[in-house]
Amino acid sequence: MRNLIGIEDFSTEEIDELIEVSKNIISNKEKYLEKCKGKILATLFFEPSTRTRLSFESAMLSLGGGVLGFSSADSSSTQKGETLADTIKVVSGYSDIIAMRHPKEGAPIVAANNSNVPIINAGDGGHNHPTQTLLDLLTISQEKGRLNNFTVGLCGDLKFGRTVHSLIIALSRYENIKFVLISPNELKIPDYLKQDVLDKKNIDYIETESLEENIDKLDILYMTRVQKERFLNEEEYVRLKDVYILDKQKLEKAKKDLCIMHPLPRVNEISTEIDNDPRAAYFRQAEYGKYMRMAIILKLLNVK
Amino acid sequence: MNIDSIKNGYVIDHISAGHGMKIYEYLQLEKLDCSVAMIMNARSTKMGKKDIIKIDQKVKIDFDVLGYIDPNITINVIENDKKVKKFHPELKEELIDIVKCKNPRCITSVERGLKHICILKDKKKAQYRCKYCDSEV
Ligand SMILES: [Zn+2]
C-alpha cells in the first residue's frame, strides 16, 4: 500500500505519470465519473483549511466516490484526549483512503503507521504539503507545455514558505531550470536548500531583493505572501511590503508569456487589477489542484 | 584511588570527562544485577581527564547507542582477567527512545505512547534527524 507523505515518496517518472493522468482527466472528465464508485474518502482536518478540503472532496465526488470527515480539532475526538493513532485506526475502518491535515510535523507518518488505507498528507504544519507541489508542477506543465528549460522567479517569504522549498526541490529534478530568488534579506531561502539542492546539483540561481529589476527575465513567477509577523521590526515591514506586491506597472516589463502563480489565499501581494491578464494563472492553478488530487486518489487506490 | 579489577565483564574507557553518568543512564546500568564502578576525572595522557565505567559481569548490553553520545569511547571485553576484545561503538542507523526530538511543532511532542525515533543522516558528522519532523537532534 502506498501513501503520499512527502513529494519524495514518488519518483520523477511517477510524478510525470500523475501529470499525464491529470491532463487526461481535464480533457475526458466524463470517463472518470464512476472510477471510484463505492469508495469513501475521509478528510480529517485537525486544522481548518477549507480550500484544500473542498478541493479533495470535489476530487473524490468527481470520481463518483463519497466523502466524510471533520474540520478543525474542536469537533473531533482529540478534544477528548484521543491519540492520533486511535483516531486513524477507527477512521481507516470507515473509509478507503484518508486525506489529513494536521498542525504537527510528522503526524502523517504516525497516521500511515496506524492505517489500513492509504494516507494523503494534506499539510503537516510547516513541514510538507506534497499535493500543493504536485499541483504546482501540473500548472507549469499545463501553462508552459513543459517542465524544463526556464527561469523561475520565486518571490516573497522564501524562508518559511514550505510550498516554495518543496517546489525548488521538485523543479531541480528537471533540466536547465534557473531560479531567481526574490525576497527581503531576512526572508531568504534557508542555507540547507542552497547547499543540499542548488549547489549540489549545480543549479543556476541568483538572490535579489528586487522584483521590479528582475521580472523581465522570468518565464514563471511564483508569488507568496510576506507576513508581517515574520519581520523583526515594523519599519522593515513598512519599507518592504509594497516591493513584493505585483501590480500592472511591474508587470509591464514582464515577458508576454509569463506564468503567474500563487498558492492562494492571497491577501494583497497580487493586485486584483491583473486578475484578468491572461498571464495570471493562479485561479486556474487552484482548479488544476482538483484534477491532480483526482490523479493522486486514483494512483493510491490503484484504480486504472 | 584503587578500584578492584574485574574478572569477567566490561571496561568502558575514554569517556569524555563528565559523560560517565549520562552513559550510566543511557545503558540503564542501574537495572543490572552486578556491581558497576564509575571512575570520574581519571587522569589520561590522551584526553587530560576522562571517565571510566567498569561492569562486573558479561551481560548483554547494546553499546552501539553510545556512538551517538561519545563515538571515541573504547569498550574492553574482559574474560578470565584478560582483555579479549576492544572496540568502538558503531553509529546505529536508528535510535529508538534514546534521544527526544526537541522541535515543539513535532508530533512526538503531543502524541502519547509514540516512540522517539531518530535516523542517521550523516555518518561523518554523527548527525541524526527525527523520523517524523526531519529536524536535527
Ligand atoms: Zn521531531
Tens-digit pLDDT profile for residues A269-290: 999 999 999 999 999 999 999 9
Count Cβ neighbours within 10 Å for each residue of B1-25 and write b for 16 or more, e otherwise.
eeeeebebbbbbbbbbeebbeebbe
Total domains, chain A: 2
- Nearest residue of B to residue A87, measured between CA atoms: B111
A147 and A258 within one domain: yes
Cα–Cα distance for residue pair B97/B121, rounded to 1 Å? 17
Among residues A167, A146, A141, the alpha carbon closest in space to that of A262 is found at A167
Enter the ipTM. 0.87
Q: Is residue A2 part of a domain?
A: no
* Domain edges within chain B: 9-87, 94-130
DSSP A186: G
pLDDT score, position A181: 98
Q: Which of A52, A133, A151, A224 is catalytic?
A: A52
A173 and A118 within one domain: no
CB contact, 8 Å: B112 with chain A?
A: yes
Query: How remote is the C-alpha of A90 from its chain's centroid?
Result: 28
Cβ separation of A85 and B114 shorter than 8 Å? yes
Q: Cβ atoms within 10 A of the Cβ of B112, count?
A: 10
Q: How do residues B15-66 score in pLDDT, each as one tens digit?
A: 999 989 989 988 889 988 888 999 999 998 888 899 999 999 888 888 888 8
Architecture in CATH for domain B9-87: 2-Layer Sandwich (3.30)
pLDDT score, position A64: 98
**The one-letter amino acid at B44:** S
Cβ separation of B105 and A125 shorter than 8 Å? yes
Q: Give mean pLDDT, residues B70-90.
A: 89
CB B29 within 8 Å of CB B36? yes
Cα–Cα distance for residue pair B78/B75, rounded to 1 Å? 10
> In a 3-state reduction of DSSP, which class is residue A47?
coil
> In a 3-state reduction of DSSP, which class is residue B59?
coil
pLDDT score, position A167: 95
Q: Which of A35, A53, A101, A188 is catalytic?
A: A101
Q: Cβ atoms within 10 A of the Cβ of A94, count?
A: 12
Cβ separation of B106 and A126 shorter than 8 Å? no
A200 and A178 within one domain: yes
pLDDT score, position B1: 47
Average pLDDT of chain B is: 88
A81 and A165 within one domain: no
Q: Which domain holds residue A135?
A: 130-286
Residue A85: its chain B contacts at CB < 8 A?
111, 113-114
CB A69 within 8 Å of CB A45? yes
pLDDT score, position B3: 58
Q: Is A201 exposed, middle or buried (0-12, 13-18, 19+ CB in 10 A)?
A: exposed
Cα–Cα distance for residue pair A248/A212, rounded to 1 Å? 11
A279 and A135 within one domain: yes
Among residues A71, A131, A121, A60, the alpha carbon closest in space to that of A95 is found at A60
pLDDT bucket at B4, cuts 50 / 70 / 90: low
pLDDT beneath 70: ranges in chain A: 73-80
A196 and A79 within one domain: no
Cβ separation of B132 and A105 shorter than 8 Å? yes
Taking the CA of residue B110 as centre, how many other CA atoms within 13 Å lie in the half-sphere pointing to its CB? 19
Q: Cβ atoms within 10 A of the Cβ of A212, count?
A: 12
Q: Is residue A1 part of a domain?
A: no
Q: Is A162 a catalytic residue?
A: no
pLDDT score, position A253: 96
Residue A126: its chain B contacts at CB < 8 A?
105
Cβ separation of A84 and B107 shorter than 8 Å? yes
Chain B interface mutation, best of A82, A104, A200, highest count of B Cβ atoms under 10 Å: A104
Q: How do residues A4-14 score in pLDDT, each as one tens digit?
A: 999 999 999 99
A104 and A166 within one domain: no
Q: Is residue A72 part of a domain?
A: yes
Q: Is residue A165 part of a domain?
A: yes
Q: How far is the CA of A85 from the centre of ligand 1 (A)?
A: 16
A217 and A172 within one domain: yes
Instruction: Please report, for the domain that includes residue A24, its CATH number.
Output: 3.40.50.1370
DSSP A280: B
DSSP A161: -
Q: Which of A29, A37, A51, A248 is catalytic?
A: A51
A279 and A145 within one domain: yes
Cα–Cα distance for residue pair A67/A58, rounded to 1 Å? 9
Question: From its phi and psi, is residue A100 left (phi > 0), alpha (psi between -120 and 50) or beta?
Answer: beta
pLDDT score, position A73: 60
